[in-house]
Amino acid sequence: MLRGQSVSAGLAVGRAAVLRTARGWVARVPIATHKVEAECRRLRVAAEAASGKLAALAGDRSAAIGGEVSAILSAHALIALDPDFLKPIEKMIRKEQVNAEWSLRFRAEELKSEFGRLSDPVFSERGDDVLEVARAIAAELAGPPERAFQALAVDGGSILVADELSPAQAARLNPRHFTGIALERGGIHSHAAIIARSFGLPAVVGVAGLLDLVAKSRPIIVDGDRGTVEPNPTKEQIRRGLERAQSRQREREKKTAPRRADPGTADGVRVAFRANLELEAEAEALESSGAEGIGLFRSEFLALDVPGGAPGVEEQQRVYEALLRRAKPHPVVVRTYDLGGEKEFGAPATGPLGLRGIRYSLANPAMFRDQLRALLRASRQGDLRILLPMVSDVGEVREARRHLADVAREEGIERIPAVGAMVEVPSAALTAPALAGECDFFSIGTNDLAQYTLAADRSDPGVASYYRPASPAVLRMIKWVVDAGERSNRPVSVCGELAGDPLGAALLVGLGVRDLSMSPVLIPRVQDALGMLDSARLVEIASRALDCKTSDEVVDVLNRLKKKIDA
């Protein structure tokens, strides 16, 4: 049994659909005799493609590379087609009947070792050049990122087993094919974890050595309650697991019963519960979950699903209109592309402090205007609201509004949708009174607000203990924004994962938040918890939490509330 981090509760039993997504070497795979020559041709085609791309990079005068780098790339392009490099690889494919990737790896590492034994450092470093060339060819053998997903053969009820999933890769998955997810890497607050929770899929991440122990199409059990993965379950373990999974499903079906007409606290304080969605298909859960519309549609997943760029205006408009039809008569809040950083196909990761969110959109005005055009056209069909991500100051909102006004004039649209600022960086929280003069509403993203306030990457397991969304510092920022919204008559919602936790939601209501947005599957549980509590009690709890000096003290305060909910 393997252990990892539980990121989505439940238990799943199924056959493993194995997907390697990270850049690296592929394992040794036997090749049938009649496929050996085709495998050699596959190697040559990949080598030619890699050589061509390396040569193109070397000769690209528009790129910011110097003559030395250009010379290195030119040399790499030649190595990729060098018979002395390729022929031993083909020989190994024929002799041992193994895949090209493995033979390529063996030859590259063999050459690196030979070069490494030379005393002259100039020659010893040539081993690194060979490895770089081999990786370039391996990337061509793997094909575009989307090809791996298209080739992933799955049956209904499969369990996705992968090394890791970027937001872009996760967006390419059809959740209907899977009953669970297990990943070698990833943190409890990673985007893959958020997607798993959105679809109610049991998931465990950070499982060391997972791909070495899981065989394709073999049974596997993922226990999202205990944070474990059983890669080779016995028949008895499979039987017990299926019984438990079926029992969980029956419990889940009971919770999809109609919700209360006026959800909120026990003493009648009204709270709106809306859904966080990343994919259009998730909108099917709006009615069964009791969601009052969509509080956050992460539109960047539309762009991530299109290799080479964002979808056209018409396709975006179709998606937004479909969401509005599903949500009527409730609102749909569409966050403009939160691209950049790790959420961009084919580009180097810029990290959480790089060009992302509204800054990325303003730096790419053509793409931004296309999205605004689609949003404006779709807004004729219902209550659509536009949310700007990663806002850090008033100037960004003003510039975004200028683009919106220009596009509206071009389209002949007089009624411009409400525009909100997403509060997820400390500067936005601290300048909320000023932002209120430029925005129609606020939406607090507690995930990133905690990450930036506490300097703890929410996807990095190494700092998981420092990532505490309910820390006193984060709570005081939330309260500051709520108060600024009340003074300016600007609605304030929370769409971060703190809203989807019963205790976190109770704390937020105590702080004055009356609009919560979360994964649809979490709504019934949060509604039930708040329905047991009086608002006066929640205000008292929130006041105590604000006076705490450490996150552990806040946890102690919330644990007293937990006893009331569990009673």
Per-position DSSP letters for 155-179, written without gaps between them: -TTEEEEES---HHHHHT--GGGEE
Residue 262 domain-assigned? no
Domain total of the chain: 3
Residue 150 domain-assigned? no
406 and 538, same structural domain? yes
Domain's final residue, options 117, 144, 171: 144
469 and 327, same structural domain? yes
Residue 459 domain-assigned? yes
Residue 28 domain-assigned? no
Domain's final residue, options 254, 282, 317: 254
215 and 73, same structural domain? no
- Closest to 419 (Cα-Cα) out of 441, 399, 403: 441
What CATH number should be reported for the domain holding residue 337?
A: 3.20.20.60
Distance CA 93, CA 45 (A): 15
383 and 451, same structural domain? yes
Residue 475 half-sphere exposure toward CB, CA atoms < 13 A: 26
Distance CA 565, CA 567 (A): 6
The number of angstroms, rounded, from the C-alpha of 343 to the middle of its chain's C-alpha atoms is: 8
Per-residue pLDDT of the chain (567 residues; tens, 9 = 90+): 888 888 888 888 888 888 776 555 566 778 888 889 999 999 999 999 989 888 887 775 444 444 556 677 788 889 999 998 999 999 999 999 988 888 998 888 888 888 777 665 555 557 777 887 888 888 788 765 444 444 454 556 788 888 877 655 665 566 667 888 998 887 766 667 777 776 778 889 888 888 888 877 788 999 988 889 998 888 888 888 888 877 766 665 555 444 556 788 999 999 999 999 887 878 888 888 889 999 999 998 887 655 556 788 999 999 999 999 999 999 999 999 998 755 554 444 456 677 889 999 999 999 999 999 999 999 999 999 999 999 999 999 999 999 999 999 999 999 999 999 999 999 999 999 999 999 999 999 998 999 999 998 776 667 777 888 889 999 999 999 999 999 999 999 999 888 988 999 999 999 999 999 998 888 988 998 899 899 999 999 999 999 999 999 998 888 888 776 765
177 and 206, same structural domain? yes
| Whole-model pTM over 0.75 | no
Distance CA 239, CA 508 (A): 42
Cβ neighbours around 536 below 10 Å, total: 12
Name the amino acid, one letter, at 308.
Answer: G
What CATH number should be reported for the domain holding residue 113?
A: 1.10.274.10
Question: For residue 29, what are its two tokens?
Answer: 């795979």
Residue 157 domain-assigned? no
368 and 474, same structural domain? yes
Catalytic residue status for 495: yes
407 and 550, same structural domain? yes
Q: 238 CB contacts (<8 Å, ≥6 apart)?
A: 13, 219, 221
Tell me the residue ranges of DSSP E strands in 199-345.
Answer: 203-205, 219-223, 228-230, 272-277, 294-298, 332-335
What CATH number should be reported for the domain holding residue 171?
A: 3.50.30.10
Residue 552 domain-assigned? yes
408 and 464, same structural domain? yes
What Cα–Cα distance (Å) separates residue 43 from each residue in 90, 139, 277, 282, 411? 8, 11, 41, 41, 51
Residue 264 domain-assigned? no
120 and 203, same structural domain? no
Residue 266 domain-assigned? no
Domain's final residue, options 144, 173, 189: 144
54 and 197, same structural domain? no
Of 191, 330, 403, 439, which residue is the catalytic one?
A: 191
DSSP output for 305-346: TSTTSPPPHHHHHHHHHHHHHHHTTS-EEEEPP--BTTBSTT
201 and 287, same structural domain? no
DSSP output for 474-512: HHHHHHHHHHHHHHHT--EEE-SGGGGSHHHHHHHHHTT
Collapsing DSSP to helix, strand or coil, 416 comes out as: coil
Asked if 422 and 463 count as a contact pair (C-beta separation under 8 A), the reply is: no
- What is the span of the domain harbouring residue 136? 33-144
Asked if 507 and 257 count as a contact pair (C-beta separation under 8 A), the reply is: no
Catalytic residue status for 403: no
Asked if 187 and 5 count as a contact pair (C-beta separation under 8 A), the reply is: yes
190 and 104, same structural domain? no
